[in-house]
Copies of this chain bind each other. A is one copy, B any other.
Amino acid sequence: MAGNSTRGQIVEAADELFYSHGFGQTSFADIAAAVQISRGNFYYHFRTKDEILDAVIDKRLADRETLLAKWDETSDDVLRRIECFVKIVVVNQAKIMAFGCPVGTLTAELAKLDHPSRERANSIMALFRDWLTRQFEELGCKENAAENALHVLGWSQGVATLAQAFKDEAFVQREVAQILAWVDEAIPESAG
């Protein structure tokens, strides 16, 4: 499962190709060529394209879980943790401007394909939603923690979509600042 194993390399290459070119437009040959292995070797590790997709989704889920867990560990300030999330769109600005959000675009593509793994892909989005919900709960939001989480998540998705369409760095900076300001205002009075 490590990144230097053949299987790991395949999943890593597939992950990037699915992101940069889309799942449907990435062929077995594309991935095999990226890893520089034969198609037969490829077939030994993954018998169908759907199996690769599932492995990629697993990797993306694990990667995001690791990232969120790291934030949970390294910072006991809730606002700072939420800030880390919101700023993903700035940290990964170049890639997002080129290919959009990896989670949002995969979700959209699999929906159009009516793909069996559609729900599994959505669970990455749900991972963010649930993590954000926990942050807002910790922030003191009682009933509307889930609503706030969806708000921030949706807002971020919108920023990513327009970032890709218009490549407007100032827009991204502005919106991120606005989201953070909104989060500040979302702190209940009882907290603070």
Residues of chain A at the chain B interface (Cβ within 8 Å): 20-22, 24-25, 98-100, 104-105, 107-109, 111-113, 122, 125-126, 129, 147, 150-151, 153-159, 161-162, 164-166, 168, 171, 174-175, 178
Contacts and interface: CB of A to CB of B under 8 A. Distances in A.
A110 B98 CA distance: 11
A171 B126 CA distance: 14
A111 B100 contact: yes
Contacts of A105: 108, 112
A50 to B, nearest CB: 15
A103 to B, nearest CB: 9
28 contacts: A22-B24, A22-B109, A22-B112, A24-B24, A24-B25, A99-B111, A99-B112, A100-B108, A104-B161, A107-B165, A108-B164, A109-B109, A111-B164, A122-B166, A125-B162, A125-B166, A126-B166, A147-B174, A150-B166, A150-B168, A151-B178, A153-B162, A154-B161, A155-B155, A155-B158, A157-B158, A158-B161, A161-B161
